[in-house]
Amino acid sequence: MQGFDDVTLSWKGVDYTIPADRVFDLVRRIEDIVMNGGTTAAFVLLLQNRVSQSTLALAYAEALKHAGAKITPSEVYLTVMQGFADNAAEAAALVQNAIVGLMCIISPPMALEILGKSEEKKT
């Protein structure tokens, strides 16, 4: 991997793209939001029970804003909470997609592994 790629996030059916040259600044912002007692942000995100829904909403809203969306963390949070209140499976998918989207930003190699898109190992 030579550098960051553009990252596209979705919210309410709209795609937002963070240009590759702006991704690293966003990595720092997300790490500041998500860090938990010195644990790396990537591992905190992978262990969903270690990151609160409000922290996840704050991090995802930051990423969406970095990509140009006009959104607040409370809007992200309340959308997810309303989905859970409606007992909607889409709410769980929204949370999972947010985590994968954040992983694509803070650790592209780990995200590729999660998505099963890593380069095949040469034998």
The structure's pTM equals 0.82
- pLDDT score of 32 more than 60: yes
Q: Cβ(59)–Cβ(33) under 8 Å?
A: yes
Tokens in use for 63? 């990423």
pLDDT digits (tens, 9 = 90+) for 64-102: 999 999 999 999 999 999 999 998 788 888 888 888 898
Return the pLDDT at 21. Answer: 94
pLDDT at 120: 47
Percent of the chain with pLDDT over 90: 41
